């Protein structure tokens, strides 16, 4: 499954001598070249340092969120349980793309095997689908908390939270499976250049010399099932939330109610906003570089921004983060004194 295909529906390359096989008069490709940002050779070192800092910051930020949710009893609520799952997803999400990109920038080797490309596509597509589902679950959680506060803890109990989360993860990893299986049966006969920094569905199927009609239909159906309903549920939840908040008579009450969902609303807006921009852009040569830049926004920067938004805009997270930092320094000081 892939957003570009669903919404559209619709530096030199090299090949190792052992990378290809002959079938009749065609050269069958067994590895690809991710062109990425190879057209900017003078910026390779700068890009490597930039993306390395982003990767470290992303991993650190999301791991801190997970640790805070696990370690603090006061954060053992449905909202923070879902937040912990989202942060866990973001660490996997960014690790699917950035390590391979960093290796390419550092060594100059942009080749990726066919199996590695299919695996990267599957994991990335699974996490993308899971994030859509998790964001819709989090919006439903905020809907119950604001619109049905008296029934919230009865409805959003521990068992129901686990069921929603398990369904999101399992459904997300099942979503791109048929597409991946169909793609794995394709024959690729050149060229072997993918003008992207990761294995996205659209640039991969452009290189196929097999009939892609079945894959096209399958991808469209799966995208429609696993992206449109979560988006509509998220949208409907926030329509109800905003209408409920506007009916609160006091300004203080409205601000307090909105503060409980503002962080999630910002994350949803950034995620879907950048995703739509990327996958509605034309594949023309003039917009291809712009497309890659926006792909960096939703594939690399969004996992970095999410923990910042939740930590900077959430009072409880800030309080527990400060308390944890203080305890850490006190522990280090006691360790130094005892030694």
pLDDT in tens, 248-303: 888 887 887 787 788 888 888 888 887 777 666 555 555 666 777 777 777 788 88
Q: How far is CA 313 from CA 113, 139, 310, 316, in A?
A: 42, 17, 6, 9
In 10 A of CB 190, how many CB atoms? 13
Residue 116 lies inside a defined structural domain of this protein = yes
Residue 177 lies inside a defined structural domain of this protein = yes
Residue-wise pLDDT tens for the chain (339 aa)? 555 445 443 322 223 333 444 444 455 677 888 887 777 778 888 989 999 999 999 999 899 889 888 888 888 889 889 999 999 999 998 899 899 889 888 888 888 888 888 999 999 999 999 999 999 999 999 999 999 988 898 999 989 999 999 999 999 999 999 998 988 888 877 678 888 888 888 788 888 887 888 888 888 888 888 888 999 999 999 999 999 998 888 888 788 778 778 888 888 888 888 777 766 655 555 566 677 777 777 778 888 888 878 766 667 676 777 777 777 666 676 666 666
> How many Cα atoms occupy the beta-carbon half-sphere of 62 within 13 Å?
25
Give the per-residue pLDDT at 337. Answer: 66
Residue 331 lies inside a defined structural domain of this protein = no
Residue 60 lies inside a defined structural domain of this protein = yes
Residue 111 lies inside a defined structural domain of this protein = yes
Residue 338 lies inside a defined structural domain of this protein = no
The answer to whether 124 and 94 are in contact (CB under 8 A) is no
Residue 61 lies inside a defined structural domain of this protein = yes
Give the per-residue pLDDT at 172. Answer: 93
Total of domains in the chain: 1
Q: How far is CA 223 from CA 4, 52, 79, 293, in A?
A: 10, 32, 27, 23
Burial status of residue 334 (CB atoms within 10 A of its CB: 0-12, 13-18, 19 or more): exposed
Residue 170 lies inside a defined structural domain of this protein = yes
Give the per-residue pLDDT at 283. Answer: 57
Which residues neighbour 188 within 8 Å (Cβ) at sequence distance 6 or greater? 28, 29, 32, 114, 207, 208, 209
What residues make up the domain containing 134?
3-12+19-316
Give the per-residue pLDDT at 59. Answer: 93
Give the per-residue pLDDT at 282. Answer: 52
Give the per-residue pLDDT at 139. Answer: 93
The CATH number that applies at residue 311 is 1.20.1070.10
């Amino acid at each position: 499954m892939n957003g570009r295909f669903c919404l559209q529906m619709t530096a030199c390359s090299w090949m190792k001598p052992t990378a290809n096989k002959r079938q009749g008069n065609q050269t069958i490709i067994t590895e690809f070249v991710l062109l990425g940002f190879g057209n900017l050779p003078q910026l390779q070192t700068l890009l490597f340092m930039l993306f390395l800092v982003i990767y470290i910051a992303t991993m650190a930020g999301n791991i801190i969120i997970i640790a805070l949710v696990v370690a603090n009893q006061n954060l053992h609520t449905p909202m923070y349980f879902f937040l912990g799952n989202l942060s866990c997803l973001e660490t996997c999400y960014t690790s699917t793309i950035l390590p391979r990109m960093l290796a390419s920038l550092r060594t100059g080797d942009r080749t990726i095997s066919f199996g590695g490309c299919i695996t990267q596509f599957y994991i990335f597509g699974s996490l993308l689908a899971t994030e859509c589902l998790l964001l819709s679950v989090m919006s439903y959680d905020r809907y119950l908390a604001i619109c049905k506060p008296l029934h919230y803890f009865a409805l959003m109990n521990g068992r129901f939270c686990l069921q929603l989360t398990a369904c999101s993860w399992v459904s997300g990893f099942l979503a791109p499976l048929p597409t991946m299986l169909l793609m794995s049966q394709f024959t690729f006969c050149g060229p072997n250049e993918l003008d992207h920094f990761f294995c996205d569905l659209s640039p991969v199927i452009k290189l196929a010399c097999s009939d892609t009609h079945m894959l096209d239909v399958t991808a469209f159906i799966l995208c429609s099932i696993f992206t449109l309903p979560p988006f509509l549920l998220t949208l409907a939840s926030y329509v109800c939330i905003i209408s409920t908040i506007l009916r609160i008579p006091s300004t203080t009450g409205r601000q307090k109610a909105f503060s409980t969902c503002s962080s999630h609303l910002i994350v949803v807006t950034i995620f879907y906003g950048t995703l739509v921009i990327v996958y509605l852009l034309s594949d023309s040569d003039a917009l291809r570089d712009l497309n890659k830049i926006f792909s960096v926004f939703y594939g690399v920067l969004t996992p970095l921004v999410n923990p910042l938004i939740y930590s900077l805009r959430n009072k409880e997270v800030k309080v527990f983060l400060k308390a944890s930092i203080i305890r850490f320094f006190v522990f280090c000081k006691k360790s130094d004194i005892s030694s």
